[in-house]
Amino acid sequence: MKFLDQAKIYLRSGDGGDGVVAFRREKYVEFGGPDGGNGGRGGNIIFKAVPNLNTLIDFRYTQHFRARKGGNGAGSDRTGAKADDVIINVPIGTQIFDESRETMLADLDADGKEILLCRGGDGGYGNAYYKTSTNRAPRRADKGWPGEERWVWLRLKLIADIGLVGLPNAGKSTLLSVSSRAKPKIADYPFTTLHPQLGVVRLSMTEEFIIADIPGLIEGASDGAGLGDRFLGHVERCAALIHLLDGTEKHLVKNYRLIRTELERYDATLADKPEIIVLNKCDALTPQQISAKKRALEKAAGTEIFLLSAVSHDGLEKLLRAAQDRVRSLKQS
């Protein structure tokens, strides 16, 4: 299944049904009077977050959603039928913006959360509604009220507990593959990951968390370089970040600061999230190199540095346990 995290769609709720002019006509009823019924309500457009979706790909092929018109009224004071609502299922984490993409209309961040975005038009009144003591035979009936229409943008932000960030080829996809059952593409060239990937990490029967891998960032990503910062929105909801660094790179501290700069340019709140810094590919380093690089990173970041070899799994359990503890503590606070 292809991944799509943005889509523009057209919505149109149903018009209300028309009221009618009718008069009662029965044998032996001398003064039947007006009995035209009201029109029915038009269908609403409702969005609902469901757990079995993780992409907006369906909206690439279906971009127009229209609800039906309400039924017209009829004689004998019969009200027209109410039109069915159109319920649009979207992945959990979907945000809905207006056409300008500046105003957020809804944030469907929980299973089952709903939003009525376009209300169906009310039905028009039949002539029975206008009957009064002085106007006993009205011949007035109203058309149904029109429904609402609008273009909206959908943007998906994946729901994950831990987000993986780092330069291309830092080993993020390898870490995701060895810590969960996810099967991301892995290769020895940059930008192997072209769209976000999710994996569920299970440490025990009762301990698990969701980890998200996004495409690697490079210098100038906030200005659109590489794949840009388009996918950073998928880690905005994460409780913490795992910042993965390639231990075989020469300019390790520079690379660390580069990613921190891109995070801050994208969103200061994202840069303020708790961060677990990991020195990866330690299997390709000597003990002396590991010690020197770890000291340099600790001095630059001012926090503990985790050592990892995602290929040999050395340090993997300690890292995942730290991530689980971080997620638990943040959820309890």
Q: Is 192 annotated to bind ligand?
A: yes
Q: Is 133 annotated to bind ligand?
A: no
Which residues contact residue 41 at a Cβ distance below 8 angstroms, ignoring those fewer than 6 apart? 14, 16, 17, 70, 82, 83, 120, 121, 122, 123
Q: Where among 138, 156, 174 does a domain terminate? A: 156
Residues 193 and 239 in one domain: yes
The domain that contains 80 carries what CATH number? Answer: 2.70.210.12
Q: Where among 112, 132, 156 does a domain terminate? A: 156
Residues 168 and 149 in one domain: no
Q: Is 309 annotated to bind ligand?
A: yes
> Which pLDDT score is estimated for 2?
60
**58 in any annotated domain:** yes
Q: Is 170 annotated to bind ligand?
A: yes
Residues 123 and 97 in one domain: yes
Q: Is 247 annotated to bind ligand?
A: no
C-alpha distances out from residue 182 to 111, 186, 212, 213, 316, Å? 22, 11, 10, 10, 16
Q: Is 229 annotated to bind ligand?
A: no
Separation CA 296–CA 281 (nearest Å) = 16
Please list the rounded mean pLDDT of every run of 10 residues in the chain (333 residues).
80 96 83 90 96 86 95 93 96 92 91 94 94 90 95 88 83 83 59 68 81 71 55 78 88 88 81 87 89 90 88 88 85 70
**177 in any annotated domain:** yes
> Which pLDDT score is estimated for 74?
93
| Helix, strand, coil tally for the chain in percent (to 5) | 25, 25, 50
Q: Where among 156, 188, 210 does a domain terminate? A: 156
Look up the pTM and report it: 0.76
Residues 62 and 188 in one domain: no
Which residue range forms the structural domain that includes residue 89?
6-156
Q: Is 100 annotated to bind ligand?
A: no
H/E run at residue 323 = helix 316-332
Q: Is 216 annotated to bind ligand?
A: yes
**1 in any annotated domain:** no
Residues 185 and 314 in one domain: yes
Residues 142 and 203 in one domain: no
The domain that contains 248 carries what CATH number? Answer: 3.40.50.300
> Which pLDDT score is estimated for 126?
95
Q: Is 115 annotated to bind ligand?
A: no
Q: Is 271 annotated to bind ligand?
A: no
Q: Is 193 annotated to bind ligand?
A: yes
Q: Is 17 annotated to bind ligand?
A: no
Residues 172 and 62 in one domain: no
> Which pLDDT score is estimated for 250?
85
Q: Is 171 annotated to bind ligand?
A: yes
